[in-house]
Amino acid sequence: MLLLRTLLLAGLVGLGAWWTWWFHDLSTRHSQELAARDRRIEALEGDLGEARAENERLRTALRLLKVDRRLARVEVLDQEPSEEEPERVRTRIRWQEVTEEDLPLGEARIFTLEGDTIYLDALVIKFGDQYVEQGDVLRGTSICLFRRIFGEYQEPSQGFPLDPVGSRPLPYRGEEGRGPEQEDLWRRFWEYAHDREAAEAAGVRAIHGEAPFMRVRAGRSYRVELRASGGLSLVAE
């Protein structure tokens, strides 16, 4: 009888010990699983945060690449037959360079062009997209120098001069951080155009002349825009 009680007691003690061990092991494994889950959640949240940051960076970069900068406005004052050749139209315009806020910059100039289609001859420097995306002080947007404006019945060489070649264009004067380096680009424009290595070292993606044109109408105005990562455009207002 005593032996039976002893065996029963030992069994109960063993069962209690096993139960304690099993419960502790279960609790430990559960805690480990919770800790592992928390680590996975933290990792996923970190990945999600990085993905959101990268998505925002790309959205910002894309927005910067598509930014259009207003440079000038062309107002068509009137159109009338040419005295020399009545079948042709003569167009009188007001040329006004403007700030990014669309405020007048410098004095307005009046030109009379032969024809109802006007051409704007300019030199354009486009920088690498990475500089535009980063908002680089010097290379954060394409830049241009207006050479001349002329009508369809005029030779380009007969066009009205706008910005003197080699000078700093009016819209970029007073911009901090874009002084000597930018002036060097204008001064050595055609040198950079023919020296790819020098152009790339300066962050230049493309450097060439452009001549957008528009058939204009009396009483209308047209804005001249330059895309941060692209070229010139004439847009009817």
pLDDT at position 213: 96
Region 207-233: mean pLDDT is 90
Instruction: Report pLDDT digits (tens) over 135-187.
Output: 676 676 788 889 999 999 999 998 999 986 655 566 555 555 455 677 788 88
pLDDT at position 61: 43
Tell me the pTM: 0.66
Highest mean pLDDT among 59-63, 130-134, 168-172, 188-192: 188-192
Using DSSP's 3-state secondary structure scheme, residue 76 falls into: strand
pLDDT at position 23: 58
pLDDT at position 189: 87
Using DSSP's 3-state secondary structure scheme, residue 96 falls into: strand
For 135: left if phi > 0, alpha if psi spans -120 to 50, otherwise beta; the answer is left
Considering only 41-45, 48-52, 189-193, 228-232, which range has the smallest mean pLDDT?
Answer: 48-52
Sequence ranges of the domains in the chain: 1-65, 69-236
Q: Are 145 and 97 in contact (CB under 8 A)?
A: no
Q: Encoding tokens for residue 138?
A: 């010097």
Helices and strands (DSSP H and E) totals, the chain: 5, 10
Distance, in Å, from the CA atom of 227 to the CA atom of 142, rounded to the nearest integer, reads 7
Mean pLDDT of the chain: 78
pLDDT at position 101: 80
Instruction: Report pLDDT digits (tens) over 12-59.
Output: 556 555 566 655 666 677 677 767 777 777 776 666 666 565 555 445
